[in-house]
Each structure stands twice: as structure tokens, then as C-alpha cells.
A and B are shown apart, each in its own frame.
Chain A
């Protein structure tokens, strides 16, 4: 019989590797019996969904962040330098 502690490890590992047949069925049985671990599994799954979504969310979530004027200036200069290297390779 798996303990909740064992089950929590398997829930996590299941996100990173394929569980063995035995692990999978042991976990499934435990989850069937255990509400705490079912909720735990849903929490872990939700964390993953939220983080993988954060690509699309990036815009709204840090929407008030933008490149500072100084950074813009610096990058602009670096790009200009790069451009001039290209047009005058001997320079």
C-alpha cells in the first residue's frame, strides 16, 4: 500500500517521467481512495497549467514593465554598431 507521502512523490514524478506500470496502478488506486491526494494531484496539475500559460499571460501580467529609455538607447547603439560592422567589414 502506498502512503500519501509515496503518492505525492509519484504525482510529481509523473510530471517528469513515465511511471512504471506498477507505480501507475498503485497511484491510481491510492487516488481513488484518498481525497487529500486527489486534491494534491489537481493542485500540481493546475500549477503546471498556470505556468505553461504564462507565455500568453506575459503580456498582461507584467504589462506595466517595458524596456527603460536607457536600455533602449544602449541596445539601439549595440545594434547600430553591429550594422556598421556589416556594411564596413574592414573598418
Chain B
């Protein structure tokens, strides 16, 4: 190896394969896609290893490449999925109607429960697990969009470009995703102990 700090690429799969896979699985929620994207990442890394500057750890470097690959996949899927309607917001109307949450005066129909601020890591892990299941249950496009924003931490601007939708649409969709997730989390036990 030219770079003494560089691990032998032969060991990447053994050392990082499963970590990359878990990272991808959490975001893609699909084992086959996760495997493919890991393969893609390692092959790209091999081609690009001359550009690895040794500053970061190999793991961090590989995760960086993986993130790009996952975003590529999101983007491709967004392009391939034909827009049934130019107004994406109406495509997930079955998720909920605002009247489910608010009365005609715009007040909450039901008391909003206190989820507290769980510090306990077990409690947090449980909440994350519920959150993931709730994310899976969101309409596909909404779930992807929410994932881009909250897990990949992309800016609204980037999401607008990637998904070719207007900022207003993105904000509305994110609102819908959050309302849906909040309800799902609430129904599945967040803060149950407290209320």
C-alpha cells in the first residue's frame, strides 16, 4: 500500500461490511437494497482509494461514500416513481386529515401527551425502534423525504433539487410526516408511563 495508514482493502469487507450494512439498512429499510449499496460503496471505495487522504478513519470515509450512494438511490427512486399528481401532498391524503387532530376552531381535539425527555438509553432505544417501525408505515415518498431530512440531515434546498418539488411542498410534506409519526409513536406507547 502506498499509504501506510490505509488498511488493506481486502479487509474492508470483514472489518466494515456489517457496520456499513446496518447503516444502510436503517435508512433503506430493505435488506437487498442495503446489500447492493454496500457492494457499490466498497467497489467505489476501491476505485477511489488513491483519493483517501488518511485524515479520517477508513470507517468514516466509507460511511461518507455510503451516504452518497444512499442519496443517489433515493434520488433515482424519486425520479422513477411517476408522479401521480403534481401536488405530492395530496398523494398521501389517506394518512390523516387535519380534522383528525384539530377541531373547527383549530384547537387540539385531544390532550397532547407528555413524552418527557427520556435519558435512559434503553428507553431511548425502544423509542427509536418504535419510530423506525412508524417510519416504515409512512407512505413511501413521505418516508423517503422525511428520511432525507431527519436522518441524512439534508437541507430543504437539497431536497427540493433532488425531488424536484417546491419548498412549500417540502415543508408541508415534512409537517404531514411529523404529524403522522407523532401519532404513530403516541399510539405505540411513547410516554405511556407518564400519562
Contact = CB atoms under 8 A, between A and B. Distances in A.
Nearest to B114: A39
A8 B182 CA distance: 12
B108 A4 contact: yes
A8 B179 contact: yes
A35 B114 CA distance: 10
Given A4-B106, A5-B102, A52-B153, A12 B38 contact: no
B111 interface: yes
Interface string A10-53: 00110111000000000000000001110110111011101111
Interface string B38-80: 1100110011000000000000000000000000000000000
B115 A42 contact: yes
A75 B128 contact: no
A49 to B, nearest CB: 9
Interface string B161-184: 000000100110011001101100
A84 to B, nearest CB: 11
A79 to B, nearest CB: 6
Contact of A16 (B17, B107, B118, B174): B174
A66 to B, nearest CB: 4
B174 A36 contact: no
Given A4-B107, A16-B171, A46 B115 contact: yes
Contact of B175 (A9, A75, A76): A9
Interface residues of A, number: 49
Contacts of B91: none
Interface in B133-151: 149-151
Nearest to A64: B22
B129 A61 contact: yes
A59 B21 CA distance: 10
Given A12-B171, A43-B115, A62-B25, A82 B129 contact: no
Nearest to B99: A5
Contacts of A74: 35, 39
A91 interface: no
Given A13-B175, A16-B149, A44-B182, A3 B170 contact: no
26 contacts: A4-B102, A8-B179, A15-B178, A36-B108, A42-B115, A43-B115, A43-B182, A43-B190, A46-B118, A47-B178, A48-B150, A50-B131, A51-B131, A51-B151, A52-B150, A54-B26, A59-B19, A61-B125, A62-B26, A65-B18, A66-B21, A67-B21, A78-B43, A79-B10, A82-B47, A83-B46
Q: Kindly list the 10 A-B residue pairs having the minimum CB-CB distance in the complex, ordered from nearest.
A: A3-B106, A5-B106, A12-B175, A36-B112, A66-B18, A71-B35, A5-B102, A39-B112, A51-B150, A75-B39
